[in-house]
Structure 1
Amino acid sequence: MVQGVIVGSHSFRDRLVLPAVAVASLALLQPGIDPVFLTLLTAAHHVPPESHGWIVGATQGGMALGSVTAWVFARDMPGRLFVLAALGAFVAGLATVNVGAAMPLMAIRAGYGVAMGLLYTHAMASAAQNRPSGAYGAVFLLQLVISTVVAVLLPIVSDMLGPRMALMTLCLAPLAVLAAFLLFPAALGGAAVPGSSPARCPAAPAGEERQPVGMQGWLYAASALAFICATMMVWSFTGALAIEWRISEDVVGRAVAMGSIAGAATALAVMREKPVVPPVVSGLVAGAMLLAPIAGARGGDMAFVLAIVLFNLGSTAIIVRTSGLASGASEDRLFRRFVTCTHSLGMIAGPVLGGIATWLMGALGLPVMAALAIVAGCLALGIAGFRAKPSRDDAVQHDEPQNDLALAVSFG
């Protein structure tokens, strides 16, 4: 087994655990390809468009349940459970190809979400153990690249071989995750230092003491949850805004593609462990960017495209930054799993809160609720920054090379 490949002279704490980054990216693939996936699902099984929201909700609800399960029961989960989760996701993918009835399909996609939620939380906790911001940036970058490539290739496969075969190719994702667990068990089994037992999960190897989690860490985690909720509120209603203001599908597609490129570049740019800009300032700027699509849809095609690009810039930057700050605030592995849980919880809570606000206040509900979530995130960042008391040892410990691309890599 390959134990490690080190670029430069960095210590173990400077390494990115690439197998864990890859697994986390693949486990997070589905939200990035949902529009294409749902189109193929309708073509293959004649699933009515009005059922799309329920199918996405079932998948995201499953992911939230899987993430919370991986956090709450972390100490009791053997490593083989995640191998079984990858197999379960593969079986659910095969079932998706062959089952077209709405209710069974929702149950299947919920099961797929549970499996991927378990895998994402487990892998992200492993990836974030050394360089939290670098790990989250790498996962978001790779997820954006993979989802963009898959979204482009799936329609081509569908045209050549049919929509069912295109859906079948998505089963390669859980197979790749399964292969990663079999090939790199140490990197994905939770070894934060050489010699830890790979049979246990990364949350708590046998006999490990819980590490303290200060208020600063919880505030950073709360800010991550708030900004993810705001992101998903706006994103889930972007299509409706485009329809309301007569933005064509071609323009929407172009905006999403350009936004993905901008998001990938942003993920690469914010991989530094030490923030250059104060987090609360980042929150305020990113929050304004998150609201851009609400105003941009009114300004025509070019304004809409620009708004989506700004939205992707802001959401990627603030989610990577707050998640990295939260994970880096404590060495406690269970807490780092909780930070990962905020992603899936925010993904399902955001659209629900946005829907409730729209139902209660009409068209004004979405911007008001999104703004409240952004304000809450900024307040959490401000209080966390006020409480921060960096020491000289911390400054030395978290110093990093000038070039973020020259990272040490651990394959476990």
Structure 2
Amino acid sequence: MVRVTHVEPGSIADQVGIVPGTELLAINERPLEDFLDWEFLTADEAFVVSARLPDGAPVEYEIEREDGDSMGVELAPPTVRRCANRCEFCFIEGLPKGLRKGLYIRDDDYRLSFAYGNFATLSNVKERDIARILEYRLSPLYVSVHATPWEARKVLLNNPRVPNILEQLTRLAEGGIQFHCQMVIVPGLNDGDVLEQSLADLWALEEAVLSVALVPVGVTQFSHLYTGKSMDARQAGVLLDAVHRWEDRALAERDDRWVFGSDELYLLAGVELPGVEHYGEFSQIENGVGAVTSLRARVRDGLSQLPRLDGKRIGVVTGTSMAPLMPELLEQLADVTGAAFVLIPTENSLFGPTTTTAGLLVGADIRRALADRTDLDLALIPAECINDNGLFLDEEQFIAVRESLPMPVFPSYDFIDALVPEGDAAVVPAACSHA
């Protein structure tokens, strides 16, 4: 059963009388478990929906629609499948106490992997889940492999009952399912021979494995489970050597790079990031693979849209890992706009200095970075550090933080989005100028 939370006015659902609060029970007498059943079982042009109205009355709707017409309903989110592993490097295990409850949910859900690109270990899938994945052809899936050798994976996931991931992937691949895979590399556990065996195993699955990303382990000052060492520049360089070796093979044999190092791996090793052509469709950009290169390209492509901002001083808040890469971008912006861009590298006060990603800065960090900057006309902060509800990770409200600061503050993904004026509006109100 799934519950309707919203009905689009004038939609098919609205026309037949489905209202918010209606419980959708079955399609053609097949019970509905979640949004996947609804999406796939309503794909036909004609079907019967068995439902229960908010007052408890049973009802059936005979639906006929043209191919592609939306039913026009929004469904209550499903109960998320929780992770049964206890990975030492788990980000959730590295969170401090006192944050909002939703941040502590350790999801490991193949449905969210298909629908949203969340990485799942597949360690909690059952036989009926495998059958469902194959029936609905839930492809591609995003899979946290970490290691294919079974014993090494048990240690990494801290779960002696974890299934054999290679057997799972092989079975799904035989059914036509494809994967984007990630391996979080923990020095001494899944580098070296384990890494080589894992890449060889994934390579043997041929076209089923679309990409593999190597991501260095990241820890915070609260990572109480982690007993290993942080990755250093030498180790990052060794991993990149492996990436390049497998990449050369993939290009020669399949005309595809196949394996990628995350941006953080390049930054740790002190190696220049590849260009846009390296990443193809940027299939793992949400995993930090090609994010910096994509930013550079978006800035380059958007420069012609920027207005003149002569005399303005614009603060740019970023994390410590991105700080060395910013001057090149800010120089381009300054040349086109005439503004002075002031880089403000900011250390993470919540997670500690080992957490250097700009998207994990919190409200307190933004206040600390900008509270005394009366010399700025405006400031740009990473949009990634604010969620859809306008909250930072420390539950500070963006609106409250902005109102406490002496300049206008704008979240930005790529500078262009914040600096290009809408219509004839000036990007920096004259009354807010401190020049």
Provide TM-score, normalisation by structure 1.
0.22
Query: Which is richer in strand?
Result: 2
Greater share of helix residues, 1 or 2?
1
Higher alpha-carbon Rg: 2
Higher relative contact order (CA 8 A, sep 6+): 1
